[in-house]
């Protein structure tokens, strides 16, 4: 496999793509946010439960169908954001987005350094056609936390 | 028809068929020579030779088409139908000559039955917005099939919404063929328009549009039949008079011509009776602030300065296909389809979507345990360009219970070696996702 492909399809991504974590419905979630990528037909629903103060994400889950990149991204994201505050999660969205869309300059390198486990997706930057796959669940997260409106979020 | 072998293809300088032992109706296609006509085929993708298997989305362009467009701008460019100066006359002559070429290519009676448009989508919308709005009324029905491209669904939905008419859909079977009995049963005196694909873009199914037109004539009062020929014209001889339909729509970019070009063929009597669509220059005879007199068909549907260079290059694409011979094209692609179908069937875990008895060279499939987008990225790294997704035919995907497919679609320049690269790529996909 070429190094670019190996960067895209890292073992962690293949593993989460095949066996997504947190792939369950949360009954009574604070936010139930549909997500849809009209380009490929990927769709899913993000569930977020906030803590009593409404500040921290107590639980996160995602149910949907999609490619390995979008499935793994949702899986790792739901692990990652549990325990984070609303603001921390939104800042992470920005860093994640920068990492996979920005040219490989200083800013995106800094983003990779800050993202810990999420940095396995840095290889997506070499595959512009797959950016939407990697960000579908994240757009749902942003939509839920930013305004909490349960309208379908689209990558388009 | 005898199966042809691409490797044995030879065409001598005089263009006649060789190998007299072969009893075939058309000369063999010299694919090596054809490939040399397409500059892009000698490029690389990810440091691998390009294997272009996405001609159903859009076909590549031969040098003759590229050169024709360039020649227009270098030697004869001016606006058409407007000037007395020499350049305008030459540009107008070349533009109108293309109308004749396109008319002959699909067996039309007259160049005046050819309307130049941006493509199939615009042609269908034109019919929906002119003939449709003038003739469809509340509770009328528009019959389509379950294998249509979105372009042959949405314009009718918009018309139905406006007119409070009903969209009726004839089902397809598990092979991806229209159920003709069900189709016939859905025809009635309420049917005003029947709109069907000649060939399914997602599945490759060739519909019996001649039979469907005959059924429409028998079962309806005076419904019109529109055929979406976008995926047929590049792959087989088409004769609109033999089909018997009323409108036939197709795109230049799928037939090795320029993008943003296409044509609507319509019966002259229908085109004459239809109201104009867009207003502007060239579609009028005279204008005053009190009254405008419209030009005759086809000009009344061509408002504004058209895609002049694109139209003339469209003519070059028709010349190119005529040079190959559509019978030869169909025979070569039939051979390649059989080879590709067999090769895909030999891979465990690969399932074909669309197994109609009559197909053009479309290989739509899914790989067990692998999303088409993942397969598409890996194949891309092998230099193989395929389409992955719903192919603007989401109802077809729903029918087969898949979110998307991988579609390898073949053209005149494809070879068995291209299929072999695809097969190796699929094995690589399966290794990564094992």
Residue B203 CB neighbours (<10 A):
30
Residue B291 has pLDDT above 60, yes or no: yes
Nearest CA in chain A to B406: A40
What pLDDT shows up at residue A104? 63
pTM for the full model?
Answer: 0.89
Q: Which residues, in sequence order, are CB contacts of A151 under 8 Å at separation 6+?
A: A34, A143
- Give the tens place of pLDDT for each residue, A51-105: 999 899 999 999 999 999 999 999 999 999 999 999 999 999 999 998 888 766 6
* pLDDT band with cut points at 50, 70 and 90 for residue B42: very high
Residue B4 has pLDDT above 90, yes or no: no
- Give the tens place of pLDDT for each residue, B59-69: 999 999 999 99
Q: Which residues, in sequence order, are CB contacts of B34 under 8 Å at separation 6+?
A: B324, B412, B413
ipTM rounded to 2 decimals: 0.83
> Mean pLDDT lowest for which of A12-21, B8-17, B421-430?
B8-17
Strand ranges across the sheet with A31-37: A57-65, A42-50, A31-37, A153-154
* pLDDT band with cut points at 50, 70 and 90 for residue B282: confident
**Min Cα–Cα distance to chain A from B390, Å:** 7
Mean pLDDT value across residues A114-134 = 87
Nearest CA in chain A to B47: A2
Find out whether A25 and A47 touch, Cβ atoms under 8 Å.
yes
What pLDDT shows up at residue A111? 65
How far apart CA B417 and CA B412 sit, in angstroms, is 14
How far apart CA B100 and CA B141 sit, in angstroms, is 35
Residues of chain B positioned with their CB less than 8 A from the CB of A2: 46, 381
Q: Which of B370, B373, B433 sits opposite A40 (nearest CB)?
A: B373
Give me the percent of chain B exceeding a pLDDT of 90. Answer: 84
Interface test with B, best of A16, A19, A68 (most B CBs within 10 A): A68
> What is the residue extent of each domain of chain A?
3-148
Q: Which residues, in sequence order, are CB contacts of A49 under 8 Å at separation 6+?
A: A26, A28, A29, A30, A57, A58, A59, A60
> How would you label B252-291 residue by residue, b for 16+ Cβ within 10 Å and e otherwise?
bbbbbbbbebbbbbbbeebbeebebbeeeebbbeeeeeee
Find out whether B21 and B196 touch, Cβ atoms under 8 Å.
no
Which neighbouring-strand residues pair with B262? B117, B251
* pLDDT band with cut points at 50, 70 and 90 for residue B10: very low
* pLDDT band with cut points at 50, 70 and 90 for residue A6: confident
Give me the percent of chain B exceeding a pLDDT of 70. Answer: 94
CATH 3.40.50.620 fits domain B6-36+325-432:
no
3-class DSSP state of B257: coil
Q: Does A44 touch chain B (CB under 8 A)?
A: no
Helix (H) or strand (E) holding B170: strand B166-170
Architecture of the domain spanning A3-148: Alpha-Beta Complex (3.90)
How far apart CA B192 and CA A59 sit, in angstroms, is 55
Mean pLDDT value across residues B280-287 = 81
B298: nearest Cα among B34, B431, B87, B108? B108
Residues of chain A positioned with their CB less than 8 A from the CB of B46: 2, 4
How far is residue B110 from each of residues A56, B11, B24, B103, B105, measured CA to CA in Å? 72, 33, 31, 6, 11
> What is the residue extent of each domain of chain B?
6-36+325-432, 66-322
B101: nearest Cα among B323, B329, B274, B281? B323
Q: Does A8 touch chain B (CB under 8 A)?
A: yes
- Give the tens place of pLDDT for each residue, B259-275: 999 999 999 999 999 99
How far apart CA B55 and CA B181 sit, in angstroms, is 32
Which class would CATH give B66-322?
alpha beta
Mean pLDDT value across residues B129-150 = 97
3-class DSSP state of B379: helix
3-class DSSP state of B53: coil
Residue B339 has pLDDT above 60, yes or no: yes
What pLDDT shows up at residue B180? 97
* pLDDT band with cut points at 50, 70 and 90 for residue B16: very low
Calculate ∠ Cα B254-B258-B260, nearest 5°.
85
Find out whether B337 and B3 touch, Cβ atoms under 8 Å.
no
Find out whether A57 and A81 touch, Cβ atoms under 8 Å.
yes
> How would you label B224-246 residue by residue, b for 16+ Cβ within 10 Å and e otherwise?
bbbbbbbbbbbbbbbebeebbbb
Residue B97 has pLDDT above 50, yes or no: yes
Mean pLDDT value across residues B186-200 = 98
Q: Identify the burial level of B73 via C-beta atoms within 10 angstroms of its C-beta, where 0-12 means exposed, 13-18 middle and 19 or more buried.
A: exposed
Residue B400 has pLDDT above 50, yes or no: yes
* pLDDT band with cut points at 50, 70 and 90 for residue B403: confident
Residue B54 has pLDDT above 50, yes or no: yes
What pLDDT shows up at residue B372? 94
CB pairs under 8 A between A and B: 53
Dihedral, CA of residue A122, residue A127, residue A132 and residue A135, to nearest 10: 0
Average pLDDT, chain B: 93
Check if B160 is active-site. no
What pLDDT shows up at residue A1? 63
> How would you label A15-36 residue by residue, b for 16+ Cβ within 10 Å and e otherwise?
ebbeebbbeeebeebbbbbbbb
The answer to whether the peptide bond before residue B298 is cis (omega within 30 degrees of 0) is yes
Residue A26 has pLDDT above 50, yes or no: yes
How far is residue B296 from each of residues B48, B265, B279, B303, B369, measured CA to CA in Å? 52, 15, 13, 12, 57
Mean pLDDT value across residues B365-391 = 94
Residue B23 has pLDDT above 80, yes or no: no
Helix intervals (H) in B175-286: 180-186, 209-219, 240-243, 268-273
């Amino acid at each position: 496999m070429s190094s670019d492909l190996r960067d895209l399809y890292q073992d962690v991504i293949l593993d989460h793509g095949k066996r997504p974590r947190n792939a369950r419905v949360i009954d009574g979630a604070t936010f139930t946010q549909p997500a849809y990528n009209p380009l490929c037909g990927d769709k899913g629903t993000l569930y977020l439960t906030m803590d009593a103060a409404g500040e921290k994400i107590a639980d996160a889950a995602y149910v949907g169908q999609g490619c390995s990149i979008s499935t793994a991204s949702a899986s790792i994201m739901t692990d990652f954001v549990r325990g984070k505050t609303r603001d921390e999660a939104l800042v992470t969205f920005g860093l994640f987005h920068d990492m996979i869309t920005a040219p490989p300059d200083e800013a995106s390198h800094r983003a990779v350094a800050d993202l810990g486990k999420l940095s396995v997706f840095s290889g997506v930057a070499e595959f512009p056609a797959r950016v939407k796959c990697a960000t579908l669940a994240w757009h749902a997260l942003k939509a839920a936390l930013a305004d909490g409106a349960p309208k379908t979020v689209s990558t388009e | 028809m005898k199966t042809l072998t691409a490797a044995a293809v030879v065409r001598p300088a005089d263009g006649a068929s060789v190998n007299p032992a072969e009893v075939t109706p058309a000369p063999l296609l010299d694919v090596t020579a054809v490939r040399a006509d397409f500059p892009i085929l000698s490029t690389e993708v990810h440091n691998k030779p390009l294997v272009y298997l996405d001609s159903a989305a859009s076909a590549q362009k031969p040098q003759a088409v590229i050169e024709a467009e360039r020649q227009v701008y270098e030697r004869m460019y001016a606006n058409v139908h407007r000037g007395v100066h020499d350049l305008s006359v030459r540009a107008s002559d070349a533009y109108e000559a293309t109308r004749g070429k396109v008319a002959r290519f699909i067996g039309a009676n007259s160049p005046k039955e050819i309307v130049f448009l941006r493509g199939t989508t615009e042609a269908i919308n034109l019919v929906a917005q002119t003939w449709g709005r003038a003739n469809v009324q509340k509770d009328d029905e528009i019959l389509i099939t379950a294998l249509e491209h979105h372009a042959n669904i949405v314009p009718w939905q918009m018309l139905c919404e406006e007119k409070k008419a009903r969209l009726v859909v004839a089902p397809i079977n598990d092979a991806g063929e229209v159920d003709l009995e069900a189709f016939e049963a859905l025809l009635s005196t309420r049917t005003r328009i029947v709109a069907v694909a000649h060939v399914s873009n997602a599945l490759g199914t060739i519909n019996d549009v001649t039979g469907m037109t005959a059924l429409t004539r028998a079962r309806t009062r005076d419904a019109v039949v529109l055929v979406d020929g976008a995926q047929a014209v590049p792959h087989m001889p088409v004769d609109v008079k033999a089909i018997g339909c009323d409108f036939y729509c197709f795109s230049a970019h799928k037939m090795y011509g320029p993008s943003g070009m296409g044509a609507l063929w319509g019966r002259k009597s229908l085109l004459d009776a239809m109201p104009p669509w867009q207003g502007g220059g060239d579609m009028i005879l005279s204008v005053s602030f009190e009254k405008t007199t419209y030009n005759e068909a086809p000009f009344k549907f061509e408002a504004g300065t058209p895609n002049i260079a694109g139209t003339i290059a469209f003519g070059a694409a028709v010349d190119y296909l005529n040079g190959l011979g559509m019978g030869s094209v169909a025979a070569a692609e039939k051979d390649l389809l059989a080879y590709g179908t067999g090769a895909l069937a030999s891979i465990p875990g690969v399932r074909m979507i669309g197994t109609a008895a009559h197909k053009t060279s479309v290989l739509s499939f899914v790989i067990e345990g692998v999303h088409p987008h993942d397969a598409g990225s890996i194949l891309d790294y092998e230099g193989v360009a395929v389409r992955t997704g719903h192919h603007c035919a989401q109802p077809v995907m729903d029918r087969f219970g898949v979110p998307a497919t991988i579609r390898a679609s073949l053209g005149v320049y494809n070879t068995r070696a291209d299929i072999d690269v695809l097969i190796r790529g699929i094995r690589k996909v399966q290794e990564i996702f094992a």
